[in-house]
Amino acid sequence: MNYSITPKTVTTHQLDSSSFEQYVNQYYDVTKFEFIVDHLANNDSQYSFDGIDGSENEEKSKLHHEKRYKSIAKFNYESWKDFYKRNGVTSGMSPLLLNDMCHRGLLPAGNYVITVSW
């Protein structure tokens, strides 16, 4: 009897944490976002974020009078408000940031790995 297995090919986009931090701080106009703080990341490690597609932001966007709140998911509104209030010092915002960047066309949809090394 012959058995075979066919793996599924999946594209994964890789970002290094320092580039991600720099881009987040510049694009979202904050100064203190750090991936290692936000995600409690360890040195020489990788963190996966699957299914980033921007759909949450597209379907449930809450338009706020301030430009920076546009296209932000309704159920994540408080997290974003806290993100700006604390100048980027957050916990757990990385998936929301990736999803928002995808929604805005800054990143392609897909799976992401953020690598940490200092």
31-63, pLDDT tens digit by residue?
999 999 999 999 999 999 999 988 764 433 443
Q: Could you tell me which of 103, 28, 100, 101 has the C-alpha nearest to residue 67?
A: 28
Q: Is the pLDDT of residue 117 over 50?
A: yes
Residue with tokens 């100048």: 87
> In the chain, what are the domain boundaries?
12-116
Cβ atoms of 69 and 28 closer than 8 Å: no
Interatomic CA distance for residues 65 and 72, integer angstroms: 12
Q: Which two tokens stand for residue 38?
A: 């936000």
Interatomic CA distance for residues 96 and 35, integer angstroms: 12
Label residue 23 by pLDDT band (50, 70, 90).
very high
Report, as an integer, the average pLDDT of 64-79. Answer: 53
Residue 61 sits at φ, ψ, to 5 deg, of: -70, 145
Q: Could you tell me which of 62, 53, 45, 63 has the C-alpha nearest to residue 115?
A: 45
DSSP state of 66: S
DSSP state of 75: G
Report, as an integer, the average pLDDT of 17-27. Answer: 96
Report, as an integer, the average pLDDT of 61-68. Answer: 41
Interatomic CA distance for residues 91 and 39, integer angstroms: 6
Residue 56: per-residue pLDDT: 61
